[in-house]
Amino acid sequence: MSEEYTDAVFLKIEGDHDTNTRALMREWGVKSVPCFRFFRNGEMIHTHTGAREEVLKEHFFKHYQGAKADSNSKTRDEIKTC
């Protein structure tokens, strides 16, 4: 999806990589993976947990289309994968 939707930002965090990423997982309250966080203008607007691609895409398009609906908007969507 990141190659197709280049105006959205996709970030991946490996939660067990080191002490910093483990601390981030605790801070964000991530209890299971994969965990996807959707942000707009620095504000988290949705959290999705689970690996079902069709459900993830449904949530992505719901929020992505919302950002695209306003042609004057300068917002960018981010998906952070925990």
**pLDDT of 55:** 92
- The pLDDT tens digits for 26-65 are 998 888 889 998 988 889 899 989 989 999 999 999 988 6
DSSP state of 32: S
pLDDT > 50? residue 76: no
* 41 conformational bin, left if phi > 0, alpha if psi -120 to 50, beta if neither: left
Which amino acid does the sequence have at 56?
Answer: L
**pLDDT of 71:** 43
